[in-house]
Amino acid sequence: MIVKMNKVTLLVSLREREKALLRLRKMGLLHVEAVQTPQSEDLEKLKSEAALADKALGLIGNPEAKAEIVPEGRAAENVSRILDLAREKDSLQARLAEKRAVREWFRRWGDVSWSSMQALGEAGVTVRLYAAPKNILKQVPEGFQIQKLGEEKGVVYLALFADSPEQKLDIREETVPAAEIPELEAEIRGAERALASVESEISKIARTGESIKAYRNALHQKIEFATVVSGMGVEEGFTYVQGYCPKNLSDQVRQAADSEGWGYLIAEPDDPGQVPTLIRNPKWIRIIDPLFKFMGTVPGYGEKDISLWFLLFFSLYFAMIVGDAGYGLVFLGLTLFARKKAGKQAPQEIFRLFTVLSIMTIIWGAASGTWFSLKQVAALPFLKIFVVRQLDSSAGDNSGFIMYLCFVIGLVQLSTAHLINAFQVINSPRALGDIGWIGILSSVFFLAGNLVLGRPMPPFTGKLFMAGVATTLIFSNFQKNIFKGILATLANLPLSILSSFSDLTSYLRLYAVGFAGVTVSTSFNNMLLGSAKGIVSIILAAAVLLLAHALNIVLSGMSVIVHGVRLNLLEFSGHLGMGWTGRTYQPFRE
* CA pair distance 307, 281, nearest whole angstrom: 8
Q: Any residues with CB less than 8 A from the CB of 18 and at least 6 apart, and which? A: 229
H helices within 299-387, ranges in order? Answer: 307-322, 325-342, 349-367, 375-378, 381-384
Whole-model pTM: value is 0.81
Longest distance between any two alpha carbons in the chain, whole Å: 111
CA geometry: angle at 238 spanning 235 and 240, to 5°? 85
pLDDT 10s digits, 360-375: 999 999 999 999 888 8
Does residue 171 share a domain with residue 293? Answer: no
281 within domain boundaries: no
Please, what is the angle between helix 349-367 and helix 307-322, to 10°? 50
Residue ending a domain, choose from 132, 157, 175: 175
248 within domain boundaries: no
- 49 pLDDT band, cuts 50/70/90, is very high
74 within domain boundaries: no
531 within domain boundaries: yes
Quick one: average pLDDT of 38-64?
Answer: 88
406 within domain boundaries: yes
> For the chain, how many structural domains are there in total?
2
Residue ending a domain, choose from 156, 175, 194: 175
CA-based nearest residue to 12, from 265, 246, 222, 276: 265
pLDDT for the residue numbered 135? 74
- 200 pLDDT band, cuts 50/70/90, is very high
Does 463 or 120 have the greater pLDDT score? 463
Q: Sort strands 155-162 and 126-133 into parallel, antiparallel or unpaired.
A: antiparallel
Q: What DSSP letter does each residue of 447-494 carry, written as one string? A: HHHHHHH-PPPPTTHHHHHHHHHHHHHHHTT--SSHHHHHHHHHTTHH
Residue ending a domain, choose from 160, 175, 190: 175
Q: Which residues pair with 132 in a beta bridge?
A: 156
47 within domain boundaries: no
* CA pair distance 109, 175, nearest whole angstrom: 11
Quick one: average pLDDT of 289-310?
Answer: 93
* CA pair distance 222, 22, nearest whole angstrom: 11
* CA pair distance 58, 37, nearest whole angstrom: 30
pLDDT for the residue numbered 230? 92
84 within domain boundaries: no
> Is pLDDT above 70 for 211?
yes
pLDDT for the residue numbered 111? 67
pLDDT 10s digits, 510-544: 999 998 888 888 887 777 666 656 676 667 777 87
* Domain extent for 570: 286-576
396 within domain boundaries: yes
CA-based nearest residue to 304, from 184, 416, 440, 157: 416
Does residue 169 share a domain with residue 290? Answer: no
Dihedral through CA 469, CA 471, CA 477, CA 481, nearest 10?
Answer: 110
How many Å separate Cα 352 from the centre of its chain?
20
* CA pair distance 187, 192, nearest whole angstrom: 9
